[in-house]
Structure 1
């Protein structure tokens, strides 16, 4: 009996144990239920690594996480930048990709960041309800330093495979190819593939004549890694069977502003001009070759019927524009350069205004055009074409004699051939031979632009006590301290908003340009002609835009001045690697400092015009205001 009772007790105990175990199993909470009980979640950042330097604003951060308590729908991911919340996986769903499967738990966060250093923190948190929310986070510090692709060289590839480098190139044959060289700190495989595509290939070079675009094809050549930069030559071959591709014509080359590198950084773009050649042999060129072929003189001079002094021939007294009332030398130039003869037509000849013929815009003005400046003020018609001086710009020789000879008319030691011809004293014209007379200084007056301008100060070769900017010497010959509209004195001021300096530690500006001085004249003016007063350009920067500047008549009132300045100071037009800005205070575009002016019609020169408070100073050497 006792044995049976003991046996029953054993069975009962076993049953109670099994019952307790089952009760425990069936009463344990499921992992699908939100709870703060259990291990805390963890999160790790895989890429980018800490202290990484990225050259793109498009940043992708990836990592892994763990949480045994809840599924991914029960988690909130939040991103902070310098402790400021910038995104979370509930509000900004499109920026997050959370993956949970049997083998891994990963997350990806995509965002756009500005240049500079960012301390990014990614937080993982269990979503309530929970008595105590469980969370974890990890941080990474990265720097955004975008190195955008830029143009390091422009030019023309001639049929004999020689290259003309620069801007405003002339005598370009129709069989030539337009060439640009771009550089980036990373390989540009995306660009390479787009240009070499067999279907719908990409053409990053746009060649324009007026409003018409020249059709053609592009090709690209890898130059490899050179001094830490990946370089590519891009060539454009115009279609030869189109009416707009012809001789004696000036074309403008624009580089597509949408050209991107593999990190989607846009190109710092450029634009430049070139002119196709005449259909003549080199020996038939009316400019130069006078010693070798004396009958060249007869192209412009008539021995027996010419006017006094110049013997300019009567047969060439054709007006290219009656209203210009140009002097005779201009008339003779335009007899060929107006498009009626076998000579390049002058760029912008069809514009309303030309150099030195501004209209009178005073209240009593009649809007009549003034005397036009002579072509020979800037060009030397007796000079032959050369790579050094393709546009036949004015040039001169300067020689410093060892002693004066008053009896021969030599009052000063330094003689400038522009003022006194060397052959007035030296019968032998070999005085111009620089090999024979190495002390003779020869100078072509420069008119450099954004691609070639460096803007450095230099000592005048005719006056060692004075300085100038040689890159713009063609303009500053007239717009100087001893002549009119003194731009030179403004260009010598370094405390100017238009005085560019190359960033410390770099060889060039961010866009590859070498400008380390005042802004080139050509950034604001079209030399040969414009539909705007002051020969102001209609398009600014290096891209084609629909937002043109138009000021064809009327007084230069404050609102027009502000409109002109804001064509560049609009946070989008880039020159020399920088976008000019201004500060607004409201949606109406009011500029800080103008809000107390009732009519808001204030000139930029009021604050930026220096001591003179004039627009001419504000435009050429705008004063910097305290920040």
Structure 2
């Protein structure tokens, strides 16, 4: 009993002390009452953790499940997810130690995520944060500058995706299993993914691409089908009416000006109006341009028809107007023709047209033109236009009799040509008024002649389709070994050196017929940008004078033929041993490439597969530049060039003395600087092209170029014993650069 009373007394004392303490300390000093969790364990402060995801992790989905644990919570508490001050997803009502929020969506990027434990009064009682959670979706990829079903004129495919991804491209067997067919595309120096494959075939292509990001996500492959077309449209001049030959003359005033386009794909018709320009006497000829999409023929219809007689017309096909669906533009083309001076001659009774020359071919019939100097076989009276039988004093009966009363003096031979070719009766030769003209001439015996015109045009020839400009011709006749003259075999006679008439007064036709195999007839050629193949005979109108034999006779005449004699009609025939072989399509041999760097294969549809034609550098009738050099060089990205020899402080030319046969001969060459300017017109930037072939770009930092900055190009690229020979060599057949010893 006494023990129980003592116990009750003790309890009372403890209670009194407790009440006193509460009164003395106040409620604010009272320790928090620990809550009891669902398992009945007594803790201290609330605590929250994020167990998934973790800091510095990657996720390839936007919907991230955030989960974790909570301790020491009380009823009514919730958990919310925040990125900065922005709340994400739905709050979670705490009902156990584990929690999970499933409706949190994040944009791509790196995020810091905070989980807050909030009581019923909205007060945050605990929080936790994870850092650098990177949301990285499977990377998307797309093709730049390519459209489904479209065209591309590039060997390259550019792809776009997110930074730092790995890009792969596939051309065939593009499945997940066939991983070996996926090609990794490396970034270039411009931080672009560009796949380049020049061997990718022309025509329809189906290509797939995909990207793989740093998280290892493989993006969905994207495919595209397009047409690869890197080929420029080709201008086909064979469809022109009349059929094209160089510098046609006697062309019908009713002729059509047209050409055909060869291309696998359609043209952009919106640009057709820019395709043809026609000029005459420096002025545009007005007209309309028509396009036949079925035949791909483009025609120029002059506003005023017919064309003017005895007039030269220049035709230019512009790349700005001939563009295919892939954006490839045609190579530029240009040609000229001169219209007839008189109408066709017809027979009065039958109405049949005389002097058969197939120039027109319109609607299938032949149209005939009178020879510009008339037909001598039918009317010898036309001879008096130039020859004066009774009053001329020289053996060719060309000179007028001296007349002191009216002041007449002996006429120069070319005066007879220019009497008509002054723009009145016949067109004036182009650039004939230029300061520098082809004044040198040679007669039929190979001696210097008084007529520059007659050295390239034979006034006695009759115009024909194969020889519209009356170029000189020749007959080579090989006599039977038994035919003697002055007790010696006659052998081979070339009419260039000796006229047949010097021995035969008549019956030549019968004689030729008896020995047809021994007779060879040819017209000296001067082919240009449309018809030249690049063999010696294409340029023999020039080379018949500019050769070694003539140089040996007349030392100041340059030997150009030696730079062209490796490719001839014979080499062409030897190559084309069957109809399937084309000389123009052949692959060049190493010997050809070493012989001359100006041997090229045309890429613009022209047949050239050999030496550059003379007309690419020289103007036929005259130029304000010395050496009759062209003032415009190249077919595309054309460059201007002047060498007028006017500047006294820095002349465009130089005089070089060379000892030939014990004599000191003076030659006029371009100055060293002007020679460099001339070569760099095509080679400065690698963009100027002839026949679709771009000139090799000049490398200014090349050691040889920096070592000899003031030397002419012929110093290294020419061959020869002196400066004149090296200049000729570098101009007509440049070689691989070699510094002379």
TM-score (norm 1): 0.70
Q: Matched residues in 2 for 1:253 and 1:136: separation?
A: 55
Unaligned runs of 5+ residues in structure 1 are: 1-8, 66-73, 93-108, 127-131, 158-162, 196-201, 225-231, 359-369, 457-468, 503-508
Displacement of 1:143 in angstroms is 12
Q: Secondary structure at the match of 2:677?
A: helix
Q: Secondary structure at the match of 2:493?
A: strand
Distance of aligned partners of 1:180 and 1:489 in 2 relative to their CA distance in 1, 3 Å threshold: same
- Give the paired residue count: 516
The residue number in structure 2 matching 1:537 is: 630
The residue number in structure 2 matching 1:419 is: 497
The residue number in structure 2 matching 1:267 is: 330
The residue number in structure 2 matching 1:464 is: none
Q: Matched residues in 2 for 1:221 and 1:432: separation?
A: 51
TM-score (norm 2): 0.60
Displacement of 1:429 in angstroms is 4.6
Q: Which has the higher contact order (CA 8 A, sep 6+)?
A: 1
Match of 1:346 among 429, 439, 455: 429
> Per-residue CA shift, 1:337-391, capped at 9, x if unaligned?
1223x12221211211110369xxxxxxxxxxx9975211111111111111100
Q: Matched residues in 2 for 1:264 and 1:405: separation?
A: 67
> Per-residue CA shift, 1:243-269, capped at 9, x if unaligned?
xx6332323222113232111112122
1:482 aligns with 2:549: yes
> Per-residue CA shift, 1:94-141, capped at 9, x if unaligned?
xxxxxxxxxxxxxxx9x7969567999753537xxxxx6856597999
Distance of aligned partners of 1:280 and 1:351 in 2 relative to their CA distance in 1, 3 Å threshold: farther
1:289 aligns with 2:368: no
Match of 2:249 among 155, 161, 170: 170
1:29 aligns with 2:121: no
Q: Matched residues in 1 for 2:678 and 2:208: separation?
A: 42
Match of 1:603 among 708, 712, 719: 712
Map 1:65-76; keep pairs closer than 5 Å. Answer: none
Q: Matched residues in 1 for 2:107 and 2:410: separation?
A: 92
Work out whether residues 286 and 296 of structure 1, in 8 Å CA contact, stay in contact via their aligned partners in 2: no
Match of 1:395 among 473, 494, 498: 473
Q: Matched residues in 2 for 1:384 and 1:217: separation?
A: 35
Q: Matched residues in 1 for 2:410 and 2:612: separation?
A: 30
> Per-residue CA shift, 1:568-603, capped at 9, x if unaligned?
113222112210023334xxxx66522134xx2210
Work out whether residues 204 and 256 of structure 1, in 8 Å CA contact, stay in contact via their aligned partners in 2: yes
Match of 1:450 among 505, 517, 529: 529
Q: Matched residues in 1 for 2:196 and 2:189: separation?
A: 10
Distance of aligned partners of 1:215 and 1:286 in 2 relative to their CA distance in 1, 3 Å threshold: closer
Displacement of 1:188 in angstroms is 2.2
Displacement of 1:84 in angstroms is 2.7
The residue number in structure 2 matching 1:181 is: 260
Distance of aligned partners of 1:286 and 1:580 in 2 relative to their CA distance in 1, 3 Å threshold: closer
Structure label with greater radius of gyration: 2
> Per-residue CA shift, 1:383-420, capped at 9, x if unaligned?
11111110000001111111253435864411112222
Distance of aligned partners of 1:617 and 1:59 in 2 relative to their CA distance in 1, 3 Å threshold: closer
Work out whether residues 79 and 86 of structure 1, in 8 Å CA contact, stay in contact via their aligned partners in 2: no
Map 1:200-215; keep pairs closer than 5 Å. Answer: 202-209=273-280, 211-215=282-286
Q: Matched residues in 2 for 1:266 and 1:22: separation?
A: 74
Unaligned runs of 5+ residues in structure 2 are: 1-39, 41-73, 79-91, 111-132, 169-183, 202-206, 346-354, 356-369, 442-447, 552-557, 567-591, 646-650, 654-669
Q: Matched residues in 2 for 1:544 and 1:275: separation?
A: 27
